[in-house]
Chains A and B, each alone.
Chain A
Amino acid sequence: MNDSSIEEVRPVLQARDVSVQFGGVKALTDVSLFVRPGEICGLIGPNGAGKSTFLNAATRLVNYATGSIMLDGQPLEGVETRDMIGRGVARTFQNLGIYASMTVLENVMLGAHHRLGGSFAKAIFAPLRARALERSNREKAMAVLEEVGMANLAARAAGSLAYPLQKRMEIARALAAEPKILLLDEPAGGLTHGEVHEFGALVDGIRRRRNLSILLIEHHMGLVMSLCDRIVVFHLGRNLAEGTPAEIKSNDAVIAAYLGKAA
């Protein structure tokens, strides 16, 4: 609908009443969530709340039984998993989705695969064009590695990096896809307290330079509170709360959910 008021910007990602079921387990029940353009939206909740499952639904790695997810106003139903990245949705994985035997540069170059297409025919019958594309892809990937401060590691095998660097490389790969929205699943995993601060500055810089929308799943509360414009809380597969960091910090239901988990 184009007749909505001018102030109300259309969300990049909008999920309404999404439910996901694994056999008898209801991982998500009628959850809703939206991410506005240029916004960092936090997604938090105790372990098993369904955060990663939501990311999987939004990238069509799992099917949702009911509800709808819209990207730029277009419904995702019927879109193939492999076409999501081309539509501007890039992600990282909670348990790393990297290729350990490939170099860091190769991993990052894979981010642009959806634009290059990996055509055998082109590689075999138009080698000069394929090589030119490969060269420009490599330069772009190097620029992204520069941006995340990993250019010096380009030739290293990804599997030989420390865990936090592997996570950072995965972000670089997602950036190489030149997405509209970035979905990050616990990107700060393995960082020490001091490093988390620097990492927050990196993510914020990326968002500003690229005018990206980011959905950030993170357990590190300091990072979430300082980085996010808005926070959505899931609990036991349902929406629990939504608001600014200040609102979430003082929300009794959220505090109870986290304390209940701890007890």
Chain B
Amino acid sequence: MRDLSLSTAIKLSLFAIVAASISVFAPAYALQQVAIAIAYAIAILGLNLLMGYAGQICLAQGTLFGVGAYVTAILNATYGVSPLATLPVAAAVSAAVGLLIGLPALRLQGLQLAIVTFGIAAAFPQLLLKLGSLTGGVSGLPVDAPETPGFMTDVPELWLYLIALACAGIGALLVSRVLFGDAGRALRAQRDNPQIAQALGVNLTRTRLWAFATSSALAGLGGGVFAIVSGFISPESFLAILSINIVIGSIVGGVTSMAGAFVGGLFMVFVPSWASDINLSLGNLIYGLALILIMMVARNGITGFIEKWISMIFRRAAG
């Protein structure tokens, strides 16, 4: 048990060092990109709980992210609510929508559920266009920049970055509260063997619905942060492919890892553009090959790969 808290402490300090160095060394534009990556990371944190721990697939995480983004934008642009105050509402509304999506999950198996949720993701952008009076249609909605504290007015991007980071911290805290306790054990139990879980008193229905709600709340929170950091949203940001990209981010980062969610978010934002930087006409090819290579080398995602190496080095060193 002491080892566990020690390794958690090491991970947290490492995380703090990385987060602080980014804020010091990254140029303003890159800082905003990182903040967007963190917004995705919040959605991935939720998806990791759902996919990695509850064993349920959801190909509509980008839609729930979009719902959160639009709740923030509508509340801010139409009703003048201050951007940060919209975030809890964004999380709550997405959680409610996620519960609705979770209902078919009680009856459907993995593959069918994948198709049903992807259907939702495919329909979402056009739904946004149809509800133009609410969503601003193709032209989208602007979101006010949150008021930047006086000493930071030179670099408002830094403030956005810190907001994203704080929201991710809250998200990670909530997820860890669920995972490291009885609820987390019940989640894993129903994933690995539902029948035995039932014999142990696990309420499969309730556990799965809570997993969907929690995961969706985080998607909504991430979406709200995305809207604030971007300053403007339109249906184009929430196409069906976003849900696939979030799943890819989750798996590439490591589907049962909290640190993996951040790796996944950064991957989503930076790797495709790096791939095009290498060669504009071969960007997709390079990106695709990178995905294939990562999965060949690191089955448990990038963080799983790193953890495996670190524990191997430690074991060597221990003799």
* A residues apposed to B, CB below 8 Å: 59, 61, 81-86, 91, 93, 97, 99-102, 106, 109-114, 116-124, 127, 130-131, 133-134, 137, 173, 177
In the docked arrangement, what's the CA distance between A116 and B202, Å?
A: 10
By the criterion CB–CB under 8 Å, are B202 and A93 in contact?
A: no
Residues of B contacting A131 in the complex (Cβ-Cβ under 8 angstroms): 181
Verify if B183 is at the interface (C-beta below 8 Å from A).
yes
Contact of B178 among A59, A117, A123, A133 (CB under 8 A): A123
- B:151-207 near A, CB below 8 Å: 174, 177-178, 180-183, 185-186, 188-189, 192-193, 195-196, 198-204, 207
How far apart sit A120 and B239, CA to CA, in the bound complex (Å)? 31
Q: Return chain A residues, CB-CB under 8 Å to B185.
A: 102, 106, 109-110, 113, 118
Q: Which residues of B contact A119 (CB under 8 A)?
A: 182-183
Are A113 and B188 in touch, CB under 8 angstroms?
no
Known: A118-B207, A130-B177. A97 touches B182 (CB 8 A): no
* Contact status of A118 and B202, CB under 8 A, knowing A123-B183, A124-B174: yes
State whether B182 touches A118 (Cβ < 8 A). yes
Collect the chain A residues with CB atoms within 8 Å of residue B174's CB.
124
Q: What are 7 pairs between A and B in contact, CB < 8 Å?
A: A82-B201, A93-B196, A99-B193, A113-B202, A118-B185, A123-B178, A134-B180
Contact A123 B177 (CB under 8 A): yes
The residue in chain A whose Cβ has the minimal distance to the Cβ of B217 is A124
Known: A82-B198, A123-B177. A134 touches B203 (CB 8 A): no
**Looking at chain B, what size class is its interface with the partner chain?**
20 to 34
> Would A134 and B188 count as touching, CB distance under 8 A?
no
**Contact of B124 with A by CB under 8 A:** no
Q: A118-B182, A131-B181, A137-B182 are in contact. Are A97 and B193 (CB under 8 A)?
A: yes
Alpha-carbon distance A124/B176, docked complex (angstroms): 9
Quote the shortest CB–CB distance from B220 to chain A (angstroms).
15
Choose one: B177, B186, B199, B213; the contact of A118 (CB below 8 Å).
B186
A99 touches B198 (CB 8 A): no
- Are A120 and B200 within 8 A (Cβ)? no
Q: Closest Cβ of chain B: how far from A152's Cβ, in Å?
A: 15
Secondary structure class of chain B's binding surface, majority of residues: helix
Tell me whether B214 is interfacial, beta carbon within 8 Å.
yes
Of listed A86, A119, A177, residue having the most chain B CB within 10 A: A119
Further pairs besides A123-B181, A130-B182: 8, Cβ < 8 Å? A59-B199, A82-B199, A83-B201, A85-B199, A93-B196, A97-B193, A120-B213, A122-B183
Q: Would A99 and B192 count as touching, CB distance under 8 A? A: yes
Q: Pick the 6 closest A-B CB pairs, nearest first.
A: A114-B201, A118-B186, A120-B210, A97-B196, A116-B182, A85-B201
With A101-B192, A120-B210 already in contact, the answer to whether A113 and B199 are too (CB < 8 A) is no
Alpha-carbon separation in the docked complex, A131 to B178 (Å): 11
Evaluate contact between B182 and A81: CB separation under 8 angstroms: no
Q: How distant is the Cα of A106 from the Cα of B181 in the complex, in angstroms?
A: 10
Complex CA gap A198/B100 in Å reads 54
**In the docked arrangement, what's the CA distance between A177 and B196, Å?**
14
Kindly list chain A residues whose C-beta atoms are within 8 Å of the C-beta of B199: 59, 61, 81-82, 84-85, 91, 97
CA A97 – CA B201 in complex, angstroms? 13
Give the complex CA separation of A61 and B202 in angstroms: 13
Chain A nearest CB, measured from B181 CB (Å): 5
Is A120 a contact partner of B214 (Cβ separation < 8 A)?
A: yes
Complexed CA–CA distance, A199 and B308 (Å): 38
In the complex, A41 Cα to B200 Cα: how many Å? 23
Q: Are B177 and A113 in contact (CB under 8 A)?
A: no
- Shortest CB-to-CB span from A82 to chain B, Å, is 5
User: Is B198 a contact partner of A81 (Cβ separation < 8 A)?
Assistant: yes
- Distance to closest chain B CB from A229 (angstroms): 26
The docked-state distance in angstroms from the alpha carbon of A81 to that of B193 is: 14
Given contacts A82-B201, A84-B199, contact A118 B192 (CB under 8 A): no
**B residues in contact with A116, CB < 8 Å:** 182
- Cβ of A177 to closest chain B Cβ, rounded Å: 8
